[in-house]
């Protein structure tokens, strides 16, 4: 009798452990999925006008009268006769090392602690602006030469300027991408990881976010490596298409809709949801997957939904 009771208790205890283990597994999966979705949504939003609005708002909060340290950082603008709105890229006082040297030279009597605090304050005030801060100091002549080549390829100067600089909001986007990638690096399904990689790459490229772009390209390389290792490269490439389609639909819809950045983001979410729903309806049979067919079907689908929504809003 005692042995039978002990056996029943052991079985119930095992069932309890199994239930807890399954719940933990489900929670872990949901957490990874949430981190991935937040990273993709945030970076897609940064490729819209919402990013500029947030940057301007942050600037209005942290903007103060110019200090001796601010003037020291801008002094290279006078020395190098850099008077354009893009002077931070070329004046030598706004890269991380250049700003630190400028702050140190501002007041000879400052201690290391005072210099460090002044550097953080002055650098932050310029970082939380739409212009942001450069990755490194550039030579204007070389940059203008690159701009001419880019223009021939249909690439605008402003995109190149964004690509070699970063803002506070772009830093947050890159951090979210790192969190999403780290939580899915060795545990997510190969196809889902590929969608995350493609979505982030599309958003980072359209936003010209160099920090998020670095993370995204690492994820793309990881996805291709996993696809080849698991003999799923074709599925990985298909997942790249879906991930890019969702981010592209979000950014495209948000960009063409008037009425403010936040209305655009709402439209972008709707467009991304439409792509997601259509993805669930497509056969998993690789032989039936045709990118050309997808483009023909998705274009009128998105246009119809967005036009209907815009007419209702008007």
Q: How far apart are CA 233 and CA 227, in angstroms?
A: 4
For the residues 240-265, what does the mean pLDDT come to?
A: 85
CA distance 53 to 73: 25
Q: What is the DSSP letter of 303?
A: H
For the chain, domain boundaries: 56-165
User: pTM for the complete prediction?
Assistant: 0.76
What confidence tens digit (pLDDT) does each residue in 1-12 have?
554 544 445 565
| Average model confidence (pLDDT) across the chain | 82
Using CA atoms, how far apart are residues 264 and 272, in angstroms rounded to an integer?
12
- Answer whether residue 47 shows pLDDT above 70: yes
- Give CA–CA dist 314/297, Å, rounded: 27
Longest dimension (CA), the chain: 95
Bigger pLDDT: 105 vs 18: 105
Please return the burial class of 86, using the count of CB atoms within 10 Å of its CB with bins 0-12, 13-18 and 19+.
middle
Residue of 284 and 227 predicted with greater confidence: 227
Asked if residue 23 has pLDDT above 70, the reply is no
């Amino acid at each position: 009798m005692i042995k039978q009771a002990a056996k029943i208790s052991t079985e119930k205890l095992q069932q309890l452990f199994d239930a807890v283990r399954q719940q933990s597994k489900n929670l872990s999966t949901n957490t990874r999925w949430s981190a991935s979705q937040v990273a993709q949504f945030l970076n897609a939003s940064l490729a819209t006008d919402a990013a500029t609005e947030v940057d301007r708002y942050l600037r209005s909060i942290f903007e103060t009268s110019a200090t001796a340290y601010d003037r020291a950082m801008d002094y290279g603008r006078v020395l190098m006769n850099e008077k354009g709105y893009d002077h931070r890229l070329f004046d030598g006082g706004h890269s991380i090392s250049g700003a630190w040297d400028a702050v140190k030279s501002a007041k000879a009597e400052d201690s290391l602690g005072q210099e460090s605090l002044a550097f953080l304050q002055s650098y932050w005030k310029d970082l939380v602006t739409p212009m942001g801060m450069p990755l490194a100091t550039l030579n204007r002549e070389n940059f203008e030469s690159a701009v001419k080549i880019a223009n021939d390829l249909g690439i605008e100067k402003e995109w190149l300027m964004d690509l070699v600089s970063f803002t506070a909001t772009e830093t947050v986007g890159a951090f979210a991408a790192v969190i999403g990638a780290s939580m899915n690096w060795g545990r997510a399904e190969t196809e889902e990881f590929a969608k995350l990689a493609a979505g982030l790459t599309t958003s980072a490229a359209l936003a010209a976010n160099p920090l998020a772009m670095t993370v995204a390209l690492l994820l793309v390389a990881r996805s291709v490596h996993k696809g080849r290792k698991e003999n799923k490269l074709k599925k990985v490439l298909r997942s790249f298409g879906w991930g890019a389609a969702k981010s592209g639909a979000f950014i495209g819809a948000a960009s063409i809709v008037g009425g403010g950045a936040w209305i655009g983001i709402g439209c972008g979410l709707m467009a991304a949801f439409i792509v997601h729903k259509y993805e669930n309806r497509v056969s998993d049979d690789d032989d039936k997957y045709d990118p050309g067919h997808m483009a023909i079907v998705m274009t009128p689908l998105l246009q119809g939904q967005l036009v209907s929504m815009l007419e209702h809003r008007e």
